[in-house]
Amino acid sequence: MRKFALLVVCLAAALPVRGFAEDYPTKPIKMIVPISVGSITDVAARLTAQALQEKLSQSVIVINKPGAAMVLGGSECAKSDPDGYTLCVVSPDTMSFNPLTIPNLPYNPEKDFVPVLDMYHVIEGLMTPAETHIDSIDALRAKAVAEPGKLNYGTLGERTTTDAFRQWLGEHWKTNLVAIPYKGGSEIISALLGNDIDVSKIGVGNMTSQLKDGKIKVLALSASHRSPQLPDVPTFDEAGFGAFPGGPIYWGIVVPAGTPAPIVKRLHDALFEIFRGPKFADFAAQNFLEPAAGSTEDFAAFLKKDRQDAAVLVDKYMK
């Protein structure tokens, strides 16, 4: 009798989760995006929300929570109910760097979130103003070595991945590149256009019009293969940058810890179809993004490796 009663209790406890998963979703879903409206990541998130809405037959509302190195978005996600109605867009800052560089971080990325899917990786370019007449990585290296301390390198400030790459590149080439800090990528683009800096490494998708106009030159791309839009530009690996310890700039989706596994799977499967589908492939190709969708296990393993890479960078370049 006691065993029977225990079995009834266990079955009763399982029914709500199973029934909830079968009915899900029954109300609008919110997608927290930790950056401002208008960036390429925000545009991609809104396209994702629209596609997910069609697949789940339920509204998906994008909520922008910019600021504080993406801490606001991560904190909002961690505090949300684990019921499948909050999706969180995350990046290396949210998941890998903030725990290492921000004291008293109000969330723990390893304990407060469940990985769902790695959406895509941002293709960055090492670029110069067209007027510098530097046409290749070899030419840039030669100038940097011949004139140490003369080339200005645009960064997002101390203890950022952009500045870590500058320092690593100086060590790699045995020279010195001068850090010129800016508040955002748009300011770096303006600095390149105004010939205020000689070189920087940022996302290429934010400056496609300037590339078409020939005002900025890309010397190498952080892509797994050459871009059809820039077939003559080598990848970082081809240019000899494979030893850089930093991982790629990625954007992925997590949910609050405790979200039922069947719901995580349903979200993953729907998102996988979106990011591996032809519509997103076209969008990614036009905006210098690489689709990266795999399994939830793939994303969890990727996040673990990215945290290890971040620890190396922080220890050496970002303290």
Q: Could you tell me the CATH number of the domain that includes residue 283?
A: 3.40.190.150
Range in 57-66, 168-177, 219-228 with the lowest mean pLDDT: 219-228
Question: Domain containing 148 — which CATH number?
Answer: 3.40.190.10
Q: Are the C-beta atoms of 175 and 144 separated by less than 8 Å? A: yes
Range in 9-18, 147-156, 304-313 with the lowest mean pLDDT: 9-18
pLDDT at position 33 = 95
Indicate if the alpha-carbon torsion angle 48, 121, 280, 113 is positive or negative. Answer: negative
In which region does residue 270 sit, left (phi positive, over 0), alpha (psi from -120 to 50) or beta (all else)?
alpha
276-287 tens-digit pLDDT: 999 999 999 989
pLDDT at position 17 = 44
Q: Which of 124, 53, 115 is nearest to 89 (CA)?
A: 115
Give the full edge-to-edge strand order of the sheet including 152-155: 178-181, 152-155, 199-203, 124-129, 216-221
For residues 297-317, average pLDDT: 94
Structural domain boundaries enclosing 166: 124-221
For residues 169-189, average pLDDT: 91
24-81 tens-digit pLDDT: 999 999 999 998 888 888 999 999 999 999 999 999 999 999 888 889 999 999 999 9
pLDDT at position 6 = 43
Q: What percent of the chain has pLDDT over 90?
A: 72
pLDDT at position 74 = 95
Domain boundary among 204, 221, 238: 221
Residues 177 and 157 in one domain: yes
Please indicate, yes or no, if residue 60 is contained in any of the structural domains. Answer: yes
Most confident option among 4-18, 149-163, 241-255, 261-275: 261-275
Residues 6+ apart with CB under 8 A from 154: 162, 180, 182, 188, 191, 192, 197, 199, 200, 202
When the pLDDT of each residue in the chain is averaged and rounded to a whole number, the result is 90
Q: What are phi and psi of 203, to 5 degrees?
A: -60, 130
- Separation of alpha carbons 214 and 218, rounded Å: 10
5-34 tens-digit pLDDT: 444 444 444 444 444 567 899 999 999 999
Q: Are the C-beta atoms of 204 and 286 separated by less than 8 Å? A: no
Residues 105 and 193 in one domain: no
pLDDT at 231 over 70: yes
pLDDT at position 7 = 45
> Would you give the end-to-end CA distance of the chain in angstroms?
63
Residues 37 and 115 in one domain: yes
More confident residue, 229 or 53: 53
The CA–CA distances, whole Å, from 57 to 25, 28, 119, 186 equal 8, 10, 21, 36
Q: What percent of the chain has pLDDT over 70?
A: 93
For residues 203-221, average pLDDT: 88
111-145 tens-digit pLDDT: 999 999 999 999 999 999 998 889 999 999 999 99
pLDDT at position 5 = 43
pLDDT at 3 over 70: no
87-113 tens-digit pLDDT: 999 999 999 999 998 999 999 999 999
For residues 228-243, average pLDDT: 89
- State the burial class of residue 40 (Cβ atoms within 10 Å of its Cβ: 0-12, 13-18, 19+): buried
Please indicate, yes or no, if residue 155 is contained in any of the structural domains. Answer: yes
pLDDT at 242 over 80: no
Residues 135 and 71 in one domain: no
Residues 278 and 136 in one domain: no
Q: Which of 21, 15, 44 is nearest to 251 (CA)?
A: 44
Please indicate, yes or no, if residue 69 is contained in any of the structural domains. Answer: yes
Q: Number of structural domains, the chain?
A: 2
Residues 202 and 174 in one domain: yes
pLDDT at 4 over 50: no
Residues 36 and 99 in one domain: yes
pLDDT at position 13 = 47
pLDDT at position 21 = 62
Residues 117 and 253 in one domain: yes
pTM of the predicted model, to two decimals?
0.85
